[in-house]
Amino acid sequence: MYLHIGEDILVKTDEVIAILDKNLLNSSPIMEEFLQERAEVTQNLAKSSIKSIIITNAMVYYSPLASATLKRRSLQRTILIDE
């Protein structure tokens, strides 16, 4: 399955390691260090404010969607049909 994380970006749900709330950006020095180390593979999808951080096997995404919204979407069954 795929998860829409904002700005027309879909990621495979089996590649998602974590979906984190934006409040972790400034509250944890370990998280800050991790994100600095992954800066080359980080993509900011939020045109205004960041609401969540999605960590996958290959990328880190800053999303404009709330972590609760992403969790709800990840639990829904979706079918994508290639035409």
Question: Contact 56/11 with Cβ under 8 angstroms?
Answer: yes
Six-digit token string for 5: 């994380």
Q: What is the pTM of this model?
A: 0.85
Q: For position 1, what pLDDT does the model report?
A: 83
Kindly give, in sequence order, each residue whose CB lies less than 8 Å from that of residue 35, ignoring residues fewer than 6 positions away: 25, 42, 53, 60
pLDDT tens digits for the chain (83 residues)?
889 999 999 999 899 999 999 887 778 889 889 999 999 999 999 988 999 999 999 999 999 999 999 988 888 765 555 44
